[in-house]
A = this chain, B = another copy of it.
Amino acid sequence: METYGKESSKENLTIHDVAKALGVSASTVSRAISGKGRIGEKTRQRVLQYIDEKSFYPNASARSLAQSKTYNIAIIMPEVKDLVDMPFFHTCMHGAEEIAQVNDYDLLIVTTDGTNIKPLERMVNNRKVDGMILTRLYREDAFVDYLKSTGIPFVAIGNSDDPDVYTVDHDNYGGCRELVGLLLSKGIRRVAYLGGGMEQTVNIKRFEGYCDGLKEAGKQVDNSIVYTDLISKVKVSKAVEEVLKTDTDCILCQDDYICDEVVHYLADKGIDIPKKMKVASCHHSKLLDNFPVTITSLKFDTMEIGRRACKTLLGIINGEKVYKNTLLDYEINLKESTKG
């Protein structure tokens, strides 16, 4: 009796090998594995047991080709130049990966600054992924425009009114608003706002929350202590310097990048937190833990946002009904930096 070449070697099995060994057709094996199509329960079990024993796994490329599905998704990350940003993006990625793995998807990572769209194009055109997660969302976002034009499923982390854009975000607006209210209710008189990068929707929402928080407490937004263009450490310290000339008693920092600089600046000048100036941040990265004084801040579950983004994406891919805009809750951490 002849042997069938491959049969003897330790090479990878194919669905045909399995079929032959079992005396059934390849289609039957395929149906047994996928569970789709009509197949007898007994045959099904027999196949499943066999492939388990022989630890057969279907070839992903072949399956992709036949199904026009890759079981890959990509997550688009910015170049994280600053340590402050790293925990957010890394954890977020981790969360997305967790969900992907559970659903037998793989996560492909793509780092790009906001301008270079080439990597995205390659993925889409080659059909290497079934969908994408955008970890950063701009008010006018070239990536979004591109992805929309291709029709590939995607979800963005951030905020958007566009009915074609699925988003997942923390409730930055609500968080900041409540935080401001809380600070004012604790005897703080004037809260300055230090922010920047207003082309990012996340930052817009935070600022809006700040404004509405003030209004709700019957205060007006005072532009002389509001900064929304602080895109460098130097600018931040300049802003603090200006704020110090006013009778402001609290600085609300848009994020930890800014908070980091504010705290350092005040420390350098020997200005005590919270005695001389109170400080709060709209975001809590673990980095804040390393400061000499604990910082009042909003706390978001960054891993969860990654998970939700991925869940939503997979939902879209699979044609399920999913929420167009998901908003995750926040926690307010009152710490020493606003005590008094």
Q: Taking beta carbons and an 8 Å cutoff, which residues of A are in contact with B?
A: 12, 55, 57-62, 64-65, 70, 72, 79-80, 83, 86-87, 90, 93-94, 97-98, 101, 104, 106-111, 119, 122-123, 125-128, 286-287, 289-292
Minimum distance in angstroms from A144 CB to a CB of chain B: 19
Asked if residues A126 and B86 are in contact (CB atoms below 8 Å), the reply is no
A97-B109, A286-B83, A287-B290 known; A57 vs B126 contact (CB < 8 Å): yes
Chain B residues with CB below 8 A from A106, complex form: 108, 110, 123, 128
Chain B residues with CB below 8 A from A291, complex form: 290
Asked if residues B70 and A61 are in contact (CB atoms below 8 Å), the reply is yes
Interface centre among A93, A109, A123, A290 (most CB of B within 10 A): A109
Asked if residues B60 and A126 are in contact (CB atoms below 8 Å), the reply is yes
Chain B residues with CB below 8 A from A290, complex form: 287, 290-291
Closest to A119 in B: B101
Asked if residues B60 and A128 are in contact (CB atoms below 8 Å), the reply is yes
Q: How far is the CA of A97 from the CA of B86 in the complex (A)?
A: 16
Minimum distance in angstroms from A9 CB to a CB of chain B: 12
12 A-B pairs besides A80-B90, A287-B290 with CB distance below 8 A are: A60-B128, A61-B64, A62-B65, A79-B94, A83-B286, A83-B287, A83-B289, A93-B109, A98-B111, A104-B122, A106-B110, A106-B128
Minimum distance in angstroms from A325 CB to a CB of chain B: 27
Asked if residues A58 and B90 are in contact (CB atoms below 8 Å), the reply is no
Q: How far is the CA of A286 from the CA of B109 in the complex (A)?
A: 23
Asked if residues B57 and A65 are in contact (CB atoms below 8 Å), the reply is no
**Contacting residue for A59 out of B80, B127, B289, CB 8 A:** B127
